[in-house]
A = this chain, B = another copy of it.
Amino acid sequence: MRLSTKARYGTRAILDLAMHYGEGPILIRDIAQRQGISKKYLEQIIAALKGAGLVKSFRGAHGGYALARDPASIKMSEVVQALEGPLTLVECLEDPSICSRAPYCVAMEVWARVNRAMLDALDSLTLQDLVDRQIRKGLGYGI
């Protein structure tokens, strides 16, 4: 159960945007370079963040990307869900009718519990928290 590169890269990319919040449009090319990610791949990843309304874009010359909202108002659960899709370990939690065993299934309860734990952990962190940690931890690689 590994996280996809999309979620890992996307998280770093949006943190990069958060670190530059208020500076106007940031070039995808610069994010790609700072984070060591292919620019072309990053385009697709950022598109997912834009689709979720977490990031906004400016087209044309002097365009780029910026956070759509204040970093303190963006929960990490939103970010990860935008990148990985619904954070549900097992489909039957979303729709129990797909499995005839659901009414008696105890395994489901286990997955529900793990799910809630993950969600709680991600709900309790905002992008601003990450920015603060990044500043405390030090800025490597010219972030």
Contact = CB atoms under 8 A, between A and B. Distances in A.
Interface stretch (A21-29, A51-59, A60-68, A98-106): A98-106
Nearest to A9: B107
A69 interface: no
Nearest to A121: B117
Contact of A101 (B88, B90, B106, B140): B140
Interface in A57-100: 76, 84-85, 87-91
B8 A104 contact: no
A84 to B, nearest CB: 5
Mostly, the A contact residues are: helix
Interface residues of A, number: 44
Contacts of A114: 118, 121-122
Contacts of A32: none
Interface of A: 1-4, 8, 11-12, 15, 36, 76, 84-85, 87-91, 101, 103-107, 109-111, 113-114, 116-118, 120-122, 125, 130, 133-134, 137-141, 143
